[in-house]
Amino acid sequence: KQEVTQIPAALSVPEGENLVLNCSFTDSAIYNLQWFRQDPGKGLTSLLLIQSSQREQTSGRLNASLDKSSGRSTLYIAASQPGDSATYLCAVRLGVYGQNFVFGPGTRLSVLP
Amino acid sequence: KAGVTQTPRYLIKTRGQQVTLSCSPISGHRSVSWYQQTPGQGLQFLFEYFSETQRNKGNFPGRFSGRQFSNSRSEMNVSTLELGDSALYLCASSLRGGQTYNEQFFGPGTRLTVL
């Protein structure tokens, strides 16, 4: 059974810092991995999608990497801003027609002005 | 392009009642997935519909059901509500088929409270 964990569970940093969020999964046979952010009481906003054949994806100040063999993905946020404060979730997709996404518990990020 | 919409946004029901939630996917998206989010269990997959057919189902009791219409809009139904069904129900749509990336786009959710 695929399990997804995220470390740390919570993180508080001053504005301007670069930071790394970690996501680990137990079964490397994934179809893709997606990073989301969730603001309190809201839905999920897609940040980056990495296909299983890719190593990384970049969007603005965000960079996500994927190492399937070790079951890890990292989300790098450069020059953090207070508006980045949210919960960040990673999710692995197990197959096109298999069980859908398995989500990690999330990392709650607070960026202090 | 409009995003995923869910109605209603908030709902209060009592135990034993049944409830129907609605989701309209992004125009052109044919796959709709439903998730339940609770503080204790996190985000859990309920089911996925594609072209009016249920493709995948998570580990939820039969009280949870859904359907998809020919215009890709989807509804989920929960019968005989229990206190533990209180949660944020999220719907996601994606473009399925062929060499798609299957990126999922989420709606704002329906907050269900069972009293």
The pLDDT tens digits of the residues spanning B4-13 come to 999 999 999 9
The closest alpha carbon to A90, from A50, A56, A53, belongs to A50
Tell me which residue has tokens 């709709």.
B32
Looking at residue B19, its pLDDT comes to 98
In residues, how long is chain B?
A: 115
Residue B81 pLDDT class (50, 70, 90 cuts): very high
Residue B95 pLDDT class (50, 70, 90 cuts): confident
On the question of pLDDT at A61 being above 50, the answer is yes
On the question of pLDDT at B1 being above 80, the answer is no
In B73-112, which positions are buried (b, 16+ CB within 10 angstroms) versus exposed (e)? ebbbebeebeeebbbbbbbbbbbbeeeeebbbbbbbbbbb
Identify whether the C-beta of residue A8 lies closer than 8 Å to the C-beta of residue A107: yes
φ and ψ of A89, to 5 deg: -120, 140
Q: What is the mean pLDDT of residues A72-101?
A: 88
Residue type, B82: E
| The two structure tokens encoding residue A112 | 């202090």
Looking at residue B98, its pLDDT comes to 41
Looking at residue B99, its pLDDT comes to 41
Asked if B55 lies within 8 A of A43 by C-beta distance, the reply is no
On the question of pLDDT at B55 being above 90, the answer is no
β B64-68/B74-78 pair status: antiparallel
Q: What proportion of chain B, given as a percentage, has pLDDT over 90?
A: 70
| The two structure tokens encoding residue B78 | 């929960």
Strand, coil or helix: what is B83?
helix
Looking at residue A94, its pLDDT comes to 79
User: Which of A34, A37, A100 would you mutate first to test chain B, the one with the most B CBs within 10 A?
Assistant: A100
Asked if B106 lies within 8 A of A45 by C-beta distance, the reply is yes
Q: What is the mean pLDDT of residues B24-38?
A: 92
* Residues of chain A in Cβ contact (below 8 Å) with chain B: 31-32, 34, 36, 41-46, 49, 51, 89, 91, 93, 96-106
Q: What is the mean pLDDT of residues B34-42?
A: 92
In whole angstroms, what is the distance from residue A21 CA to residue A18 CA?
10
Higher pLDDT, residue B114 or A27: B114
Higher pLDDT, residue A83 or A29: A83
In whole angstroms, what is the distance from residue B84 CA to residue B98 CA?
38
Looking at residue B101, its pLDDT comes to 58
Looking at residue A1, its pLDDT comes to 82
Q: What is the mean pLDDT of residues A52-63?
A: 94
Q: Which residues contact B82 (CB under 8 A, 6 or more apart)?
A: B15, B114
Q: What is the mean pLDDT of residues A2-14?
A: 94
| Mean pLDDT (chain B, rounded) | 91
| The two structure tokens encoding residue B30 | 């044919």
Looking at residue A4, its pLDDT comes to 95
Higher pLDDT, residue B1 or B41: B41
Which residues in chain A are closer than 8 Å to B104, comparing Cβ atoms?
Answer: 34, 46, 91, 101
